[in-house]
């Protein structure tokens, strides 16, 4: 059996340090907004190369809080890719903004700056660039569009912890970024967690307030806030894992390049390997026969996943978006297949998966 993801195997090398960190939190008896969260926020800000990281409850809240802190609301339009996890869209509709879905580039499966530009109206306030599957969007081109039209450029970096563009990393490539630390992400905790990163001091202050009932000073509530905090236990786990992130991303890239060698010459469409700008949160191949391949892999004891089988505009919750013409997003949803890829996956497992696929595709 090769499972699609294996949390036990991924955390095993860090197990002793995680156990100690958890015991340390219990010893200190501080579990919310204590020293571990403050320390992890400082570490993660330094790692991303920004002035501020603010720990929040999850990736969805990270994005929602950014939009809310910028004061966006009803009547404001936010452009984002149509082929994303539903959380990107939920963040926008949660505060009453209108999501404007961009059909992705069929090659990179990322936001196409030309399409983005064509969707800008007088009501557009922001662009959310989703670094899907761990690959960075063209942030120079998107930054240029944002500057020319006076828009906020927000990164959805939930799949791209550590991805690098020259000396700069995901989280430092726009005005603000939302991260998720959901356990399967490149940097994951043992439950829900997230963070906002930014160089904007005022935005950081506002998000610190919003995440904690609109308060920085006890019993003084300056704005209408929410409760969305990264807790001490999750922060302690993340502090253990952060120093290993670059090494684990290197391992992900090595496995992706092994898949690439072994699957070349099949009928599968393989992802571009990229450079340090791709941290392979997911290794996603494409095939018109995706469902047959998936069933055959399953029968051979190999777990796979689909990110995502039903795009947001085809979900019952977003019936109002279903009339938008998004042929590339619809095509991709029928063809994408995520193969196992995590830092504890072995070369032998990749070879086994490729062998099964080569006999099929």
Total residues contacting ligand PLP by CB under 6 A comes to 15
How far is 42 from 67, CA to CA, in rounded Å?
A: 23
212 vs 68, 90, 96, 155, 205, CA distance in Å? 14, 21, 21, 23, 11
Q: Which of 217, 359, 247 is nearest to 297 (CA)?
A: 359
Min dist CB 25 to ligand PLP, Å, is 21
Site mask for ligand PLP (CB under 6 A), range 141-180, x = bound: ---------------x-xx--------------------x
Tokens 């929602």 belong to residue: 64
Measured from the CB atom, the residue of 88 and 287 that comes closer to ligand PLP is: 88
Residue nearer to ligand PLP on the CB measure, 25 or 87: 87
Q: How far apart are CA 118 and CA 335, in angstroms?
A: 26
Closest-CB residue for ligand PLP?
59
> Nearer to ligand PLP by C-beta: 183 or 303?
183
User: CA-CA distances (angstroms) from residue 124 to 69, 76, 141, 269?
Assistant: 16, 6, 17, 34
Residues 189-208, mask of contacts with ligand PLP (x by CB under 6 A): ---x-x--------------
List the interface residues with ligand PLP, window 53-112 (CB under 6 A): 58-60, 84-85, 87-88
- With 0-12 CB in 10 A as exposed, 13-18 as middle and 19+ as buried, what is 298? exposed
* Minimum CB–partner distance for residue 193 and ligand PLP (Å): 7
The CA distance from 39 to 17, in Å, is 16
Q: Is 321 in the site for ligand PLP (CB under 6 A)?
A: no
Binding stretches for ligand PLP (CB under 6 A): 58-60, 84-85, 87-88, 130, 156, 158-159, 180, 182, 192, 194
């Amino acid at each position: 059996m090769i499972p699609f993801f294996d949390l036990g195997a991924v955390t095993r090398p860090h197990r002793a340090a995680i156990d100690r960190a958890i015991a340390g939190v219990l010893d200190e008896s501080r579990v919310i907004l204590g020293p571990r969260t403050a320390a992890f926020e400082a570490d993660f800000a330094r790692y991303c190369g920004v002035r501020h990281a603010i720990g929040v409850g999850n990736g969805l809240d990270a994005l929602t809080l950014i939009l809310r802190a910028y004061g966006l609301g009803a009547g404001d339009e936010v452009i984002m890719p149509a082929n994303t996890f539903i959380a990107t869209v939920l963040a926008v509709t949660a505060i009453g903004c209108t999501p404007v879905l961009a059909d992705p580039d069929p090659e990179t499966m990322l936001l196409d700056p030309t399409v983005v530009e064509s969707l800008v109206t007088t009501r557009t306030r922001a662009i959310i660039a989703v670094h899907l599957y761990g690959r960075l969007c063209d942030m120079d081109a998107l930054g240029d569009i944002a500057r020319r039209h006076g828009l906020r450029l927000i990164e959805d970096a939930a799949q791209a912890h550590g991805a690098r563009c020259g000396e700069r990393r995901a989280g430092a490539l726009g005005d603000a970024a939302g991260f998720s630390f959901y356990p399967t992400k490149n940097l994951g905790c043992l439950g829900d967690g997230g963070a906002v990163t930014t160089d904007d001091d005022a935005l950081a202050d506002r998000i610190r307030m919003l995440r904690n009932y609109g308060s920085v000073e006890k019993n003084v509530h300056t704005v209408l806030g929410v409760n969305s905090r990264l807790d001490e236990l999750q922060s302690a786990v993340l502090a253990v894992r952060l120093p290993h992130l670059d090494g684990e991303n290197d391992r992900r890239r090595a496995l992706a390049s092994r898949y690439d060698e072994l699957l070349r010459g099949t009928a599968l469409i393989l992802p571009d390997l990229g450079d340090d700008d791709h941290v392979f949160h997911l290794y996603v191949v494409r095939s018109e026969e995706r469902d047959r391949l998936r069933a055959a892999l399953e029968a051979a004891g190999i777990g796979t996943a689909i990110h995502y089988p039903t795009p947001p505009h085809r979900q019952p919750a977003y019936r109002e978006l279903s009339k938008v013409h998004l042929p590339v997003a619809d095509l991709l949803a029928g063809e994408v297949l995520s193969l196992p890829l995590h830092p504890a996956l072995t070369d032998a497992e990749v070879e086994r998966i490729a062998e099964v696929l080569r006999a099929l595709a």
